[in-house]
Amino acid sequence: MMFCPQCKGLMISSGGQLKCKKCGYIREIEVSDRLKKTDKRLEKEITIVDEEEKIATLPTASIKCPECDCTTAYWWLRQLRAADESEVRFFRCTACGKTWREYD
């Protein structure tokens, strides 16, 4: 989005120009105003609960651990992607401590 240098209002594109909806300021669209397209999406770092005191307060679920076949694991949710996408559910085995994730 482009904002007006005079009144800080939102500028809209019209006929090769940017026009301020608020004060009427007009300027030509420049090459630097064009949208940039990227091929890669940068993933954010994943936060995993590591502190033993915090883990003990997490809820548990009946789910089979892929490592040791235990059927109880702590679980928590994290929003890793865009806000309009579902959260990722993390599990940590109560017996062996293996952590894995599950997507909806």
* Catalytic positions, written as ranges: 84-85
Contacts of residue 18, Cβ cutoff 8 Å, sequence gap at least 6: 2, 11, 12, 26, 27, 28, 29, 33
Q: Give the amino acid at 4.
A: C
